[in-house]
Amino acid sequence: MFQSLTEKITGIFDKLKSKGFINEETLDSVMREIRVALLESDVSISVAKEFIEKVKIKARGKEVIKSVSPAQMVIKIVNDELTDILGSENSEINLNAKTPILILMVGLQGSGKTTSTGKLAKWIINNKNKKVLMASLDIYRPAAQEQLISLGKANDIETLEAQTKKQPLEIASIAVDKAKNEDFDILILDSAGRNQVDKEMMNEIKNISKKFKFNETLLVSDAMTGQDAVNTAKAFSEAVDLSGIILTRIDGDSRGGAALSMKHITSKPIKFLGSGEKVDDFESFHPDRIANRILGMGDVVTLVEKAAKEVDEKEAKELQEKFLKGRFTLLDYYKQLEQLTKMGGFEGILKYLPGMSGLKEKVEKSLENEDIFKKQKAIITSMTKKEKIFPDIIKASRKNRICKGSGSSIQDINKLLKQFKKMSQMMKKMGKDRNIQNMMKTGQFNNLDKMIDTNKFRN
Amino acid sequence: MVFGWVKKLKKGLSKSSSKISEGINTIIKGKKIDEKIIEEFEELLISSDLGVKFSSEVANKLRSKKLIDSSTEKVKILISEMLIEILKPLENKRKTISPLHIILVVGVNGAGKTATVGKIANKFLSEKKKVGVVAADTFRAAAKEQLKIWADRTNSSFFSGEEFSDPAALCFESIKKAQDMGLNFLIVDTAGRLHNKKDLMDELSKIIRVIKKLDEKFPHEVVLVLDGNIGQNSIKQAEIFKEICSINSIIITKLDGTAKGGVLVPIAQQLSIPISYIGVGEQKEDLLDFNADNFSKALLDIN
Ligand SMILES: Nc1nc2c(ncn2[C@@H]2O[C@H](COP(=O)(O)OP(=O)(O)OP(=O)(O)O)[C@@H](O)[C@H]2O)c(=O)[nH]1
Ligand SMILES: Nc1nc2c(ncn2[C@@H]2O[C@H](COP(=O)(O)OP(=O)(O)OP(=O)(O)O)[C@@H](O)[C@H]2O)c(=O)[nH]1
Ligand SMILES: [Mg+2]
Ligand SMILES: [Mg+2]
């Protein structure tokens, strides 16, 4: 159902190629298909149309029609254009102003404001070494203030105590005073969820926004948002002076087209991504990653960075090499198994690889749970070094020995060997793919401080 | 009653007026319906989250009808009929009620599960039933406190456990207590989980597995809560939750905003899961029975 845009474009051109020629007319029909595919990725219609116009112009200029691989050419144009719209560089929040710096979080109900408030506070504390205060202006949702306070407690972030019988504007004043009096560098205000239809609530946030001079007002928005993202973005950017967007739940599998619409409508940068439920699941924004996601090319850069964080730089480089050359042994696999859990399991890795969705399902089935990881580790432990490096030599008698040593069945061993073989083949194939090689080479591989950590097991 | 339904929905919809109805006015009205116009209209339908399949069905219908005078009313009625045909069979009436009827409420993060649990409890309360709610979200900050307030609002018995404790065990214990107390309904609020996270989906399977040890028929209903603001990903959510815990019905929330829940159409076409209620606000009364006629009226701006 969620065929990737990349696959689609390639598919369309394959169909056309069999006809032997591509003219202006067919290019038009290709563009319409891309437009529909964008709509299906939740990009809004007005944005999709404008986008396609730009792509068309570039495609003509680049003479896609005559090029050897028109599909690749169009994919590249689409990718560049997506990255361009999403923002050509990542823009962080500005913390070089008079303290206390005031940050306001706004958005629809349930978009992730409270959680993101905690995440941003922790991110600032960890990365910028500042003194941060959080306060909730939500007097409507049951236990909203308790939620923020509890997040604060669990993560050592100072949070304003619960305020009863006070209006949000008053609470904001109390928080600002506290921040001033107690020398906080930064105050983050979490607000109640609201939608544009509710005039009263929109006025409330307008008034709060007017009364204090906020250095940052961030629209917190779900990456899975549908076509209505346009309305939301419009309404909030009219009501308050937005400075940026936080996109949450990118750990889901939505195509994230709403990001494009929101960026386009507000013309404000996406500043952060929420990538999980935990406070540390938060990263600064890289436009190319979301562009790749909309296109469905996977995100090898993220994978490699993630691997680097868990594995350490040197090991990661080796892993990268082995990935590319297909020299990946059971010894490496064993190490990987240990790190796998940390990285969100095998599916956690596969998610980032292009065109792996089919394989992913198979692997998921065979790797039912951690028990299997454990079993596999036991099996590998019972192998000799030679067997680990050259698993092909493992025949019946060796299998029997490993069976006994690891307390597993012959089937388990066969399964592991088969799966490992498949994996090695896949990696070898990937290694030959020039795109992936380039991505791996150009990825911010050494950029250890920007590493992310998504999709960890929750408990 | 019917009137209130449409009105409530339209409270939100009318603000931006229905995109489809607007499209009918700007794209179609008074024009000769040629291929270009049909294509443009088809894209508009897709962009209302109605899905490619339904949208092309409408386009084909427009082609075959060869409407000469394209009055907006005719086009609206045509689409409305098609919508009702798809959605009518999915109106959901709770058929049998067991002595202790157990409802498990599931969905992705922030969809509106906890609020919906409160609203369902309120519905049963107004039918003079004895209701209990279980805070099986032991993970998220203040999830328990949030549900506790809903329990108080709706005079429901409240069952909870320690933070980070095993939700399956909590459900097991709560059901036994509810049986002893002679409750009529027990509604379980689970933690938000993205459908693509295997470990969290396993946790859900485990809850069901453990509950079934008490009685194979438990839980009597599994309800998936979808956020009306979410786009095409809702289809995937429905698909995977259906596979993992065979959901009996869908509740779509937040339709009091400008989102209209068009995504219910492709979900209906692909998965035919009944739709029990729609959420139209944050108060305990803001839960309406799903009604195909009213839904399509609201979607198309028909009075
Ligand atoms: N998977 C995932 N869950 C998230 C992310 N951000 C927030 N959540 C979850 O989404 C749910 C809602 O988050 P909240 O922070 O309560 O949302 P909110 O916008 O404050 O909600 P209201 O105050 O009711 O409007 C919670 O279950 C969070 O744990 C994310 O990036 N990924
Ligand atoms: N406007 C509107 N808001 C709703 C509706 N249903 C729920 N909400 C709001 O959406 C936000 C999230 O609702 P919750 O019930 O906490 O969502 P949840 O699915 O339990 O969230 P997690 O447990 O964190 O995954 C809250 O602010 C609710 O008040 C609705 O129908 N309309
Ligand atoms: Mg909140
Ligand atoms: Mg909840």
CA distance A328 to chain B (A): 26
Contact B15, B257 (CB under 8 A): no
Closest CB to A150: pick one of B142, B195, B198.
B142
Residue A144, CB half-sphere, CA atoms under 13 Å: how many?
Answer: 24
Are the Cβ atoms of A35 and B233 closer than 8 angstroms?
no
Instruction: Calculate the alpha carbon distances from B264 to A231, A346, B76, B88 in Å.
Output: 20, 32, 18, 12
For ligand 2, the distance from its centroid to the CA atom of residue B115, given in whole angstroms, is 5
The pLDDT, as a whole number, for residue A278 is 95
Spell out, as residue ranges, where chain A has pLDDT lower than 50: 1-2, 20, 299-305, 307-308, 311, 352-367, 435, 438-459
* A414 phi and psi angles, rounded to 5 deg: -60, -40
3.40.50.1820, 2.130.10.10, 1.10.260.30, 3.40.50.720: CATH of A300-450:
1.10.260.30
Q: Is the previous residue joined to A100 through a cis bond, with omega within 30 degrees of 0?
A: yes
Cβ contact, residue pair B39, A197, below 8 Å: no
**pLDDT reported for residue A222:** 97
Asked if residue B58 has pLDDT above 90, the reply is yes
Check if A110 has its Cβ closer than 6 Å to any atom of ligand 1: yes
Q: Where are the domains of chain A?
A: 5-86, 101-289, 300-450
Q: What is the pLDDT of residue B11?
A: 52
Is ligand 1 within 6 A of the CB of residue A274? yes
pLDDT of residue A65: 56
Arch. (CATH architecture) of A5-86: Up-down Bundle (1.20)
The chain A residue lying nearest B151, using CA atoms, is A142
Q: What pLDDT was estimated at residue B28?
A: 80
Distances (CA, A) of B69 to A181, B24, B72, B75, B105: 71, 13, 9, 10, 48
Percentage of residues in chain B having pLDDT higher than 90: 69
Residues 6+ apart with CB under 8 A from B184: B97, B99, B100, B101, B124, B129, B130, B131
How is A105-165 classified by DSSP, letter by letter? Answer: EE-STTSSHHHHHHHHHHHHHHHH---EEEEE---SSTTHHHHHHHHHHHTT-EEPPP--S
Say what the pLDDT of residue A443 is. 36
**Residue A406, both tokens:** 């690891």
* pLDDT of the residue at B101: 96
How large a percentage of chain B has pLDDT more than 70? Answer: 92
Helix (H, G, I), strand (E, B) or coil at B99: coil
Given B43, B112, B196, which is nearest A35 (Cβ)? B43
Q: Backbone dihedral region of B246: left (phi > 0), alpha (psi from -120 to 50 degrees) or beta?
A: left
Residue B10 confidence class, pLDDT cut points 50, 70, 90: low
Q: A345 vs B12: CB contact, 8 Å cut-off?
A: no
Q: Which residues of A touch B259 (CB under 8 A)?
A: 226, 228, 231
| pLDDT score of A4 | 64
Q: What tens digit of pLDDT does each residue of B201-244 get?
A: 999 999 999 999 999 999 999 999 999 999 999 999 999 999 99
Query: Which pLDDT tens digit goes with each residue over A301-330?
Result: 444 445 445 545 556 566 666 655 666 677
**What whole-number distance in Å separates Cα of residue A92 and Cα of residue B287?**
41
Q: Is any ligand 2 atom within 6 A of the Cβ of residue A276? A: no
User: Which class does domain A101-289 fall in?
Assistant: alpha beta
C-beta of A44 in contact with ligand 1 (< 6 A): no
By alpha-carbon position, which residue is closest to atom 12 of ligand 2? A110
Can you tell me the mean pLDDT for B118-122?
A: 97
Q: Do A45 and B43 count as a contact with CB atoms less than 8 A apart?
A: yes
Separation CA B154–CA B148 (nearest Å): 10
Give contacts of A42 with chain B, Cβ < 8 Å: 231-233
Q: Quick: pLDDT tens for B181-194.
A: 999 999 999 999 99
